[in-house]
Amino acid sequence: MTVAERDITVRDFLIFQLKLVLDGLKDFAVFNLSLGAMVLDLLAGQGRRPRLFYSVLRLSERWDLWLNLHGAVQGMEEEGNEDGLFGASAAGDDTLLGQLEMLVRGGDRPSSREERSDSAPAVPD
């Protein structure tokens, strides 16, 4: 079982909520796009060459791979890291999580509290 600090758990919760919202929006859009694509394929090609419908399927699959809704959890538990979802992803990876990590951190290594306190400017007396 994964154990993480409170701020990491809150961050992971917010990331998961964002992923759920994006997944729901994708489902709504793909539902409507697939209906329209199938109707157009049936009308234009008499159903023999459903190009648009399969294009929608490919688009939906690419989106799912990018979103990777639950994939990071498996990696997080396998590695036993204490950095939550970011510890299970590679910064800059071709997924939403990898891109968020690169945006937030600029790389894979979390800045520890000790590093942050060491890099803080000295306050004059």
What is the structure's pLDDT at 58?
95
Q: Is the pTM of this model over 0.75?
A: no
* Number of domains forming the structure of the chain: 1
- Domain assignment present for 125: no
Q: Residue 49 corresponds to which tokens in the numbers above?
A: 């060459």
Mean pLDDT per block of 10 residues along the chain (125 residues) reads: 74 88 95 94 76 92 85 65 67 77 71 47 47
Does residue 104 lie in a domain region? yes
Q: Does a structural domain hold residue 101?
A: yes
Question: Which residues touch 105 (CB under 8 Å, ≥6 apart)?
Answer: 86, 91, 111
C-alpha to C-alpha distance for 31 and 29, rounded to whole angstroms: 5
Q: Which of 33, 58, 37 is nearest to 49 (CA)?
A: 37
Look at residue 43 in the predicted model and tell me its pLDDT: 87
Q: For 23, left (φ over 0), alpha (ψ -120 to 50), or beta?
A: alpha
Would 1 be classed as within a structural domain?
Answer: no
* 121 is a domain residue: no
Q: Residue 11: give the domain boundaries.
A: 6-108
How much is the pLDDT for 29?
A: 96
Flag whether 43 is in a domain: yes
